[in-house]
Chain A
């Protein structure tokens, strides 16, 4: 230690040390998921929507579940959803997964540059979409494609975006999976993390200021809660009592960083909401019924002008972060299988079978039907071109939409480009 590094070091005091959180298991280790904050799966009470946030602090530290490990539904949060709604939910989750699988395959074939799956997190998006009104505006991250699927948005349109083909409404300007659909209430995805989280609060404030009835719902990952926009969102949502649902999808991983690097070791992500005076719920993100129930509760609260709710969806990112990522370089290969809260599709399927509203035969048939559907939509999309083959976008369109009307300097640049 040089003098210049610590000129006033007190030699009588014990030396400090820097704490750098590390996950309990790395490649080659036995997967240890018990280190992931000891979760209480005890039944949680369902408070009235006008409850004071400081009266339900335990809900920010426990885990709201409706489905138990055997697929039985119970507890105060059981919304007794109709079998028909549950089957539609199961279908949307299965379709999301089938779509993800095809789009990774075509990326590997070089037909697109990039893709991101949501495997294991389908309930997070799909159940929320079912609990919201179609008119409510969603501010998603890049991993809530299930919202579009649940709102019956055409897969072909999503594929056109992934391929940046001539059918791409975004004209090839955005990387794959950065969808936008005003019609489906799915706000434009940005590469900049968490920016949409605070924008959703602004949208909700606009709705309230206009005496509208629509809500906003926003999603952010565990990693991106560390961004300043997370703090802006919670502050403004609380100050102006904005009708917004602030979802935090804790899938335990931000690319290679485990949730502890985002501050997840010290407390829960839900608990952050409490300090802003917002009710905060922590829910089993792989439990379709529970995600539906908490979203419905938060939506009722917002619709009653009682303001925002923070929801942590406790789940697990089963697959790679993206097609550019290899998770076996930073976590045990079999950690996804060791995840104690299972898989959202398997769990809803088991529940439907347990209540006599589903069976293996129908499940297999639905699987096959969805695979066919994805394939057919894929063929139709590829007919409009892929990133490198087939019909091409008009290069001059690159200069459109920078401004509402093209200013003179862009007119000059467009002419120059067209001359080459």
Chain B
């Protein structure tokens, strides 16, 4: 089985999708000849042709609209928004149109589109190359929101997203493109090689949407995480010695509540972690659900560790990013009883 980093896995997923379904079409800024600013679409145009993989004008609103129109025609567009921070001009088309087309037409039309977009911090990306806007989209009925944390899942989830007949927001943690990252920015950069989840099968396979994965079994506390924070959660468990059960949600909507509830009923406490700002972040929904469904099993308040409620700063990145020290402290608070 080949070893892939996350970029190669994402590239492989699109390669498979283009080869299996002639309706799949890929476009976005710089994704064609150049192969994308992160190389995610490298060589796809050369292999599959100019009308299957092509460059788009710098117009997120236009890209989203064209995707909706092509989807209504019967194509299966996979579009790239260069950074999640730049998705906002496309939100009217995604929220008002893609998300509601099936509903408002009672199934007469739908939007089988996938929007790929690199997100998250940890790369000195400052205010507009670091954001985690997933909570804006998880709030929208009709959209699915998917976030992988490793190469194996990235390929399987992306193929599943492309094949899904509902609109999917596919947020790629760009800090994880080349290697896992646990928040220890002062240590040497790791690569994916040697990591168990970097063994990526060739050809077609899927990781089902709506299913979480227990990454680390534990009995003391449940950690709910996704994207880069999965690795931070694992590091915090190891460094504190607290026997945490770390769950990688993988899909935020629809959410695998069953796996979450089973875990919290076992551990009796829960820490929710994400990079996005705290207030009204997706963690608030997770905390509310855990409180509602696990109230009589909870032995401590549900903790949330998130980005501060500020825009993402450049120089002060490591004071902002919820690293293993902050997560570890939350694990202790949740389990000291």
Contacts and interface: CB of A to CB of B under 8 A. Distances in A.
Contacts of A61: none
Given A180-B105, A192-B92, A206 B75 contact: yes
B105 A170 contact: yes
B65 A188 contact: no
A272 to B, nearest CB: 16
A87 to B, nearest CB: 32
A296 interface: no
Contacts of A169: 106, 108
A408 B93 CA distance: 26
Nearest to B209: A407
Given A195-B65, A403-B142, A408-B254, A187 B104 contact: no
B311 interface: no
Contacts of B66: 198-199, 201-202, 205, 232, 236
B59 A235 contact: yes
Interface stretch (B2-10, B94-102, B115-123, B231-239): B94-102
B103 interface: yes
A371 B61 CA distance: 44
A161 to B, nearest CB: 11
A173 B106 contact: yes
B106 A228 contact: no
A301 to B, nearest CB: 20
A63 B9 CA distance: 57
A210 interface: yes
A239 B57 contact: yes
Interface string B36-73: 00000000000000010000010101100111111111
Given A203-B72, A409-B255, A170 B59 contact: no
Contacts, number: 144
From B62, B107, B109, B164, name the one whose CB has the most chain A CB atoms within 10 angstroms: B62
B166 A404 contact: yes
Given A188-B109, A190-B97, A206-B75, A198 B69 contact: yes
A400 B106 CA distance: 8
Nearest to B165: A404
Contact of B107 (A192, A205, A401): A401
Contacts of B25: 209
B110 interface: yes
Interface in A202-261: 202-207, 209-210, 216, 228-229, 232-233, 235-236, 239
Contact of A188 (B77, B89, B105, B254): B105
A404 B255 contact: no
Given A169-B106, A192-B97, A404-B166, A228 B61 contact: yes
A209 B69 contact: no
A357 to B, nearest CB: 39
Interface string A138-149: 010000000000
A402 interface: yes
B92 A188 contact: no
A333 interface: no
A232 B70 contact: no
Interface string A165-193: 00001110110001011100001101110
Interface of B: 25, 51, 57, 59, 61-62, 65-75, 77, 89, 92-93, 96-97, 100-110, 141-142, 144, 164-166, 210, 253-255, 257-258
6 contacts: A180-B109, A199-B72, A201-B66, A206-B69, A236-B59, A400-B106
Top 5 nearest A-B pairs (CB, nearest first) are A202-B69, A206-B73, A232-B62, A407-B254, A198-B65
